[in-house]
């Protein structure tokens, strides 16, 4: 008899993947947007996101990663731009420093309507590119 490699979980503990979203954002493009559109930051990012990004050596890299995350969330929910305000999708940090999501208003309603109860997210960035991968899990 072959050994079990993974411990099985009871069916009630298993969550199905509802959707996956991935997005890339060029850091230089975000830099140009921020320079020519001063209201962009306030329109797209929450106060908490702005504070976190501005504490860093190059805030634009962090803004780009968070913008990619917001678009990846919309893709994971299977909706397009305009389904909710970008500020209703907030990238927050756990005590460990890991990024996670807080949805508000219409974004939270969309997730609930699609049966999304949890999110997994990974962000990465270099000086030129930011990426976000988001997995929406069923409740």
For position 14, what pLDDT does the model report? 56
Domain that holds residue 60: 16-138
Query: What total of structural domains would you count in the chain?
Result: 1
Residue 120 inside a domain? The answer is yes
Question: Range with the lowest mean pLDDT among 79-83, 87-91, 129-133?
Answer: 79-83
- Give 26-37 pLDDT, tens digit per residue: 999 999 999 999
Residue 3 inside a domain? The answer is no
Average pLDDT, integer, range 86-113: 94
Question: pTM of this prediction?
Answer: 0.88
* pLDDT range class, residue 25, cuts 50, 70, 90: very high
Crossing angle of helices 105-113 and 59-77, in 10° steps, is 40
The owner of tokens 């850091």 is 27
pLDDT above 90 as % of the chain:
81
Residue 106 inside a domain? The answer is yes
Residues 6+ away with beta carbon under 8 Å from 69: 23, 89, 91, 99, 101, 121, 123, 132, 134
Residue 57 inside a domain? The answer is yes
CATH of the domain at 48: 3.90.470.20
The whole-chain average pLDDT of the chain stands at 91
- Give 95-107 pLDDT, tens digit per residue: 888 999 999 999 9
* pLDDT range class, residue 13, cuts 50, 70, 90: low
């Amino acid at each position: 008899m072959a050994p079990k490699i993974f411990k099985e979980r009871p069916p009630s503990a298993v969550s199905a993947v509802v959707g996956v979203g991935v997005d890339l954002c060029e850091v230089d493009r975000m830099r140009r947007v921020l320079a020519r559109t001063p209201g962009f930051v306030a329109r797209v990012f929450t106060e908490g996101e702005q504070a976190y990004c501005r504490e860093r050596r190059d805030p634009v890299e962090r803004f780009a990663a968070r913008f990619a995350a917001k678009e990846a969330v919309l893709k994971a929910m299977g909706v397009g731009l305009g389904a909710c305000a970008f500020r209703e999708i907030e990238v927050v940090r756990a005590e460990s420093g890991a990024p996670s999501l807080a949805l508000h208003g219409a974004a939270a309603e969309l997730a609930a309507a699609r049966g999304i109860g949890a999110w997994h997210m990974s962000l990465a960035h270099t000086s030129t590119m930011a990426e976000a991968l988001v997995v929406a899990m069923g409740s």
